[in-house]
């Protein structure tokens, strides 16, 4: 008999592994069968983590399905924030946007990029930290990775940027140091070229929660620096154009 999927049990296991700072192989989990089951487990994991911040990451599955996950722990700090370090922790420089008005689910006419831009109130420099309880992250089972909050392990929101950066982020000079060592030095580059691609996709996803993309929500938009592993704790300093964000990752 095939064992029934239990989203609470998966969330409890993911939570336990995250608390211990350890990882297990995809093959040791009973993975969700579909995105609905994955999001059920993600919601239970978010509850176990006690997540209350209205901050989210958006991406798409290998099949092109838009999906989101909450950012936690979440800090708003130009400098001085501290995020827990775990073995395997990775870092990404990102652009984050805060919505100034709702983008409700609508049918018929999809949101244009211009409409999404018009809903944005502020643009920020941000940094995402990632480590999944799943050893292979999403390379074997994206659904399991989605249940594990898409690997998010922390987010630091930095200074406001000029609103035009949602159009011109690509190519902006970007330098990142960690523990005094340069880990990225080159032009900012988003995987999709346009930092708003995944947000527009998510806005046009009729399966997203009715409560999503409300005014006040913060949405991070994807890496500008690739995902760089941080082999040890230490201070991170990001210089993006003329904007700077400094924070630390530390052993708990």
21-34 pLDDT tens trace: 999 999 999 999 99
| Sign, Cα dihedral of 157, 163, 166, 172 | negative
Q: State the pLDDT at residue 2.
A: 57
Q: State the pLDDT at residue 1.
A: 46
Strand partners, 246: 79, 237
Q: How confident is the model at residue 106 (pLDDT cuts 50, 70, 90)?
A: very high
Q: In the chain, how long is the greatest CA-to-CA distance?
A: 60
Tell me how far apart the alpha carbons of residues 217 and 232 are, in angstroms, rounded to a whole number. Answer: 32
Tell me how far apart the alpha carbons of residues 79 and 136 are, in angstroms, rounded to a whole number. Answer: 32
The H-or-E segment that residue 79 falls in is strand 79-85
The H-or-E segment that residue 116 falls in is helix 113-119
pTM of the predicted protein model: 0.95
Domains and CATH numbers, the chain: 7-251 (3.90.850.10)
Residues 50-99: pLDDT tens digits?
Answer: 998 899 999 999 888 999 999 999 998 877 899 999 999 999 999 999 99
> Which of 89, 86, 91, 68 has the alpha carbon at shortest distance from 19?
86
Count of alpha carbons within 13 angstroms of residue 3, beta-carbon side: 9
> Which of 46, 60, 43 has the alpha carbon at shortest distance from 221?
60
First to last CA, the chain: 42
Tell me how far apart the alpha carbons of residues 51 and 43 are, in angstroms, rounded to a whole number. Answer: 10
Q: Rounded to 10 degrees, what is the CA torsion of 223, 226, 232, 236?
A: -50
């Amino acid at each position: 008999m095939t064992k029934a999927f239990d989203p609470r049990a998966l969330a409890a296991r993911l939570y336990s592994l995250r608390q211990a700072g350890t990882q297990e192989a995809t093959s040791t989990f009973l993975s969700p069968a579909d995105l609905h089951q994955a999001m059920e487990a993600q919601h239970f994991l978010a509850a176990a983590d006690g997540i209350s911040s209205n901050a989210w990451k958006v991406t798409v599955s290998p099949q092109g399905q838009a999906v989101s996950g909450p950012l936690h722990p979440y800090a708003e700090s130009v400098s001085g924030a501290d995020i827990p370090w775990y073995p395997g922790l990775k870092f990404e420089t990102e652009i984050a946007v805060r919505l100034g008005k709702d983008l409700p689910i609508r049918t018929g006419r999809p949101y244009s990029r211009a409409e999404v831009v018009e809903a944005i109130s502020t643009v920020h420099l941000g940094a995402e930290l990632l480590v999944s309880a799943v050893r292979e992250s999403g390379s074997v089972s994206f659904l399991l990775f989605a249940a594990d909050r898409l690997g998010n392990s922390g987010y630091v929101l930095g200074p406001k940027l000029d609103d035009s950066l949602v159009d011109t982020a690509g190519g902006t000079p970007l330098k990142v140091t960690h523990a005094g060592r340069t880990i990225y030095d080159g032009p900012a580059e988003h995987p999709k070229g346009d930092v708003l691609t995944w947000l527009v996709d998510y806005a046009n996803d009729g399966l997203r929660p009715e409560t999503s993309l409300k005014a006040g929500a913060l949405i991070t938009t994807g890496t500008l620096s690739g995902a760089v592993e941080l082999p040890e704790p230490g201070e991170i300093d990001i210089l993006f154009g003329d904007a700077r964000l400094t924070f630390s990752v530390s052993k708990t």
